[in-house]
Amino acid sequence: MDFNLYVASKTESIRKRRQLTKWIIPVIYLLIGAYFLYKGYQLGAYIFLAIAVMWVFSYPGYEAKKYIKHFKKHIQLNLSKSLDKMVTMEFLDDHIFSIDGMKETKVRYEELTEIIETGKALYLMIDVGHGFIIPKSKVDSQSVGDYFYKLSEDLQIAYIEDLNWSWK
């Protein structure tokens, strides 16, 4: 799920929509509060001001939980059969070869668009939203990270170190 949340947090359209939602509702409440203040209804103005402030501070947490719930449901519906499968990956001279039981995948290194390292995993991105996930807990993260850093230099693709990333 961290992979989906990471991609969502870095997708420009999702980031813009989250920021718009965070600020447009409080602005509307502030405008209503200003109207009440203009009409002399101070209590109404204070109530709408309080709602606007509460929204700014509480909505991001609510929205983060909503995304987590959405991705959990998506994973259960679409990926539940492949969650507990053992995946074997081989890094050969010119491609990555993976086997996950009944499926074999071969991806040439040239198809990689970027390599992302977070605190928990390495993501070998093929295109937006697709890639290989290598959990650091399952490999020697230092040597694997060094290998992919060198590979990114050889392929002239971005190696993004986002070690402190967390879903917010």
77-86 tens-digit pLDDT:
877 666 667 7
Q: Give first-to-last CA distance, the chain, whole Å.
A: 14
Record the pTM: 0.76
Predicted pLDDT at 46: 95
By CB atoms closer than 10 A (0-12, 13-18, 19+), residue 148 is: buried
What is the C-alpha to C-alpha distance for residues 35 and 6, in angstroms, rounded to an integer?
41
Distance of CA 111 to the CA centre of its chain: 21
Strands of the sheet with 95-99, listed across from one edge: 88-91, 95-99, 104-108
Place of tokens 């697709």: 130
- Residues of the chain whose pLDDT is less than 50? none
92-116 tens-digit pLDDT:
888 899 888 778 889 998 899 999 9
**Residue of 74, 82, 81, 33 whose CA lies nearest to 53:** 33
Place of tokens 């109404």: 44
Predicted pLDDT at 40: 93
43-81 CB burial, b ≥16 within 10 A, e <16: eebeebbebbeebeeebeeeeeeebeeebeeeeeeeeee
Predicted pLDDT at 76: 82
